Amino acid sequence: MLKEMKTIEGNMTTTEATKTLTIDGREVPFNGERNLLELIRKAGIDLPTFCYHSDLSVYGACRLCLVDIQGRGVQGACSTPPEAGLKVRTQTEEIREIRKITIELLLANHDQQCPTCPKSSACQLQDIARKLGIRKVRFKPVHQLAELDLSSVSLVRDPNKCVLCGDCVRFCDEIQGVGAIDFAHRGHEAAVLPAFGKGLGEGECINCGQCAAVCPTGALTPRPEVDEVWRALNDPVKTVVVQVAPAVRVAIGEAFGLPSGMSATGQIVAALKRLGFDKVYDTAFSADLTVVEEANEFLKRKAKGEKLPQFTSCCPGWVKFAEQYFPDLLPNLSTCKSPQQMLGSVCKATLPSEMGIPKENLIMVSIMPCTAKKFEAKRPEFAQDGVPDVDHVLTTQELARMIEEAGFRFKELEPESFDMPLGFKTGAGVIFGNSGGVSEAVLRYAAEAVTGRKLGNPDFLSVRGEDGIRLATVTLDGVELKLAVVQGLKNARTLVEKVRRGECQLDLIEVMACPGGCIGGAGQPVTREREVKRLRTRGLYEADKNLDLHKSQENHHVTEMYQKYLGEIGGRKAHHLLHTHYQNRRRIADERMVFGDGPEGDKVKVSVCAGTNCFLKGSQEVLSEVLQCVDAQQLQDQVEVSASFCFEKCDQGPTVRVDGQQLQNCTGKGACAAMRERLKNKVAPE
């Protein structure tokens, strides 16, 4: 049905053709909705679904969003585009029964330990079962319980709670471009697994945790450290200090009924002090410290014209992604530690002497919006003499849980202040939690450093926004700075590959693994609403405006830190405490896939790297040629061929090892020639 609608504004007349269809007897207009599910929700009907996510491709697996379309029968609303004149019913006896059967079948093979499930209060399976009025399950389980996957320091994977919706698989592939998990097997044996059936922590996972953020059940959750923190707080020998990341303050209130984006800084500090933490610091302080170090590092590189573009290094998910897929660009990453690690390093270096306690009795806890921070804190680079800079990382969700365990009424807590001097910050440190915030903070510093003049308006709106890749050019006294802001690692891959090919000339690239930046981290309260993330983003920019200082160089406590402890900016002591290095990282734990049967004996061993970089450079073709050569010459009894991960020569791939000889940039012909030479000479491996 088409209706002509006319609106008159002044002397201007606009004619719009509005299409309509009928939903449950009501006429509903549509314009731009991708499918019936979006339109039905827009009409105020909460149609159940597991597998639909507005940021992901349409999958249509769960079959819960079924509707009855006159003349067409039962259809999936998520995969049906709206058409003028359709008559749609969302509730019929048949549809209700189909939904109930679907949920009962899922529950039959589901670990129903709901009261102890970490996703209990946000579980969509529980929510849908309650709304459908399911009181008993009529089907018997056929699956045997599987073991928990505890191989990751950031996440817990419980295969017994997976409903096969595919949200985690699609997010990891479509948004992050990693593909650390995927579907395996068929029929009732179908499962979501990491590569080769390994643990999540043994594969290519970059610990961003977005799989857990979109998981509708407790199949994927952040790995908790609450018990360890309680033990530290209850240990009379330990002095426990805590830092709070900027993004936490605009999200934790959601767990206690406060509006999204509302800053609850004072209540957070009050809760932490009542929990027993000896000192409460602000990670925004070390974000200011990061700006000073990173901006100076950038300006030096720009002046010399070397190691550009400079990539930011605040996001541990991005850092691990770069280590795995772009090891040749690691020299381009800023050597600065993240704000979390900087504050941990400074505290461990200064507080023991100030407080008169042994260093090993000082416990640093971080409250972060991010699951990758758990992995970052346990990197060996961030420990001195076996003592980690940060001992434990709690997500926003975990802090909310501790507050609930303690029985505090969060909304009624009287606000308190951070402890000084490590609780002082500027607005530049606060906006670090937003995508584009690091770049803007660096620009606020660089503008004054380059021009020598005070910056009037500190806002650089060109680096703000929601696009996955944002490009901006800023000119400072004739010096042109070209920047890019990236959110989502698939977007990062796209941009980095352009930089590699010389198609994009840039000076500074900010990368955040999570859409929206830290405000959208997987440790934040669970939400599927885009508007919630927008409100969190707005909350941090408003917090910046509400502060008196907006530039990191205005933080006088940072200046005093250099004078008292760090010495010169970028100097020897500052570099020791505030900078780090990165490594070419294996993407999967050692594993060989052997082709051929029979005992190994005295065979020549040919191993072809099947890691991502070598694969993209043609290692699969090399492996195929070697196997063909072995078959053609009937060498199965003399040669063992395998695919292996990884020889740590990603920039020189494809890499092949023939017994002890390692070949870089190897072709199939080259591998076969080396294999034949080895067979001919039978020389012992060097």
Catalytic residues: 294, 297, 314, 334, 373, 376, 381, 518
Convert 638-667 into a string of H (helix), E (strand) and C (coil).
CEEEEEEECCCCHHHCCCEEECCEEECCCC
Contacts of 341 (CB under 8 A, 6+ apart): 376, 377, 382, 389, 390, 580
Tokens 């479509």 appear where?
174
Backbone angles phi and psi of 19, in degrees to 5? -90, 145
CA 539 – CA 100 distance, rounded (Å): 40
Cβ(264)–Cβ(253) under 8 Å?
Answer: yes
Contacts of 361 (CB under 8 A, 6+ apart): 237, 238, 239, 352
CB-count exposure of residue 336 (10 Å: 0-12, 13-18, 19+):
buried
Contacts of 135 (CB under 8 A, 6+ apart): none
Q: Which two tokens stand for residue 476?
A: 């400072």
CA 298 – CA 170 distance, rounded (Å): 36
Q: Say if strands 479-487 and 469-476 run parallel, antiparallel, or are unpaired.
A: antiparallel
Task: Output Rg (C-alpha) for the chain, integer angstroms.
Answer: 28
Cβ(586)–Cβ(646) under 8 Å?
Answer: yes
What is the DSSP code (8-state) at residue 384? E
Identify the sign of the CA torsion 171, 176, 180, 183.
positive
